Amino acid sequence: MDKLIFSHVYKSFRNRIILEDVCIELKRGMIYGFIGPNGSGKTVILKMAAGLLRPTKGNIYLDSRTLGKDIDFPPSMGILIENPGFLAHYSGLQNLLYLTKIKGLIGRSEVEAAMEKAGILDAASQKTGQYSLGMKQRLGIAQVIMEDPELMILDEPMNGLDQKGIAEIRALLLEQKRQGKMILLASHTREDITYLCDQIYFIQDRKVQSIPKVSPITAPH
């Protein structure tokens, strides 16, 4: 997948317009950030990119295919939206192995490699009901990357992480970008957006506008 295109996309819920005439083109090898007030539509636009919501009007294209018509979902996608939900009585490893059965693309070695990259391998045998919020977030990120997807969609990926965790996940996402992945993320933390993103979109009053990127004052440790 080389491009993800929103073409004159509108989204309404119960006759209330959330997003209006969204026209953006996203490319692989780039990280895109979406910012805006609560309720502005950040999560809505991520869910539409993932095929979880359909536009009320307009189309979303993956290269030459129309999402929701030619294909239901992006074929190679990892997604983390809202708080990751895992089976509390299963270990972190068991949860991810269970999820691999959906597509059957990978096995235990790939899952463990993803957990190591996300910094959660040392808790692989621990039940997720005993995980802290930050540990669950790391496990959710491991789930996103474990099948080596072309498209990654992340809503508040740093939620619950301490400074060390934030620096590690930032480095992980930049490495995924270098591998040619297309990454979409929403964050309330301007430092994450400024440091990670090649292009930033501001959502307010139903409109999605590109805004200039301002270099961070300091890089993360």
Closest CA to 156 of 179, 178, 184, 175: 184
Closest CA to 34 of 43, 25, 23: 43
Give the span between the Cα atoms of 42 and 135, in whole angstroms.
24
Assess if residue 62 is contained within a domain.
Answer: no
pTM: 0.93
Mean pLDDT of 173-196: 94
CB atoms within 10 A of CB 176: 21
List pLDDT tens digits, range 145-160. 999 999 999 999 999 9
On the question of pLDDT at 21 being above 80, the answer is yes
Amino acid found at 174 = L
Predicted pLDDT at 215: 55
Q: Is 23 helix (H, G, I), strand (E, B) or coil?
A: strand
Predicted pLDDT at 127: 98
Assess if residue 173 is contained within a domain.
Answer: no
Two structure tokens written together for 99: 């999820």
Assess if residue 124 is contained within a domain.
Answer: yes
Assess if residue 106 is contained within a domain.
Answer: yes
List pLDDT tens digits, range 27-40. 999 999 999 998 99
Give the span between the Cα atoms of 6 and 51, in whole angstroms.
12
Burial class from Cβ neighbours inside 10 Å (0-12, 13-18, 19+) for residue 74 reads buried
Share of the chain above pLDDT 70, in %: 96
Predicted pLDDT at 221: 37
The helix (H) or strand (E) run that includes residue 200 is strand 199-204
Confidence of residue 1 (pLDDT cuts 50, 70, 90): confident
Assess if residue 158 is contained within a domain.
Answer: no
Q: Which long-range contacts (CB under 8 A, 24 or more apart) does 148-151 make?
A: 148/110, 149/76, 149/77, 149/78, 149/181, 150/1, 150/28, 150/74, 150/76, 150/77, 150/180, 150/181, 150/182, 151/1, 151/4, 151/49, 151/74, 151/76, 151/77, 151/78, 151/181, 151/182, 151/183, 151/184
Tracing tokens 């040619």 back to the chain, one arrives at 180
Predicted pLDDT at 214: 65
Give the span between the Cα atoms of 159 and 161, in whole angstroms.
6
CA dihedral 132, 134, 135, 138 (to 10 degrees): 160
How many domains does one find in the chain? 1
Predicted pLDDT at 83: 76
Assess if residue 91 is contained within a domain.
Answer: yes
Domain range for 130: 85-148
List pLDDT tens digits, range 81-137. 977 889 999 999 999 999 999 999 999 999 999 999 999 999 999 999 999 999 999
On the question of pLDDT at 52 being above 90, the answer is yes
Assess if residue 11 is contained within a domain.
Answer: no
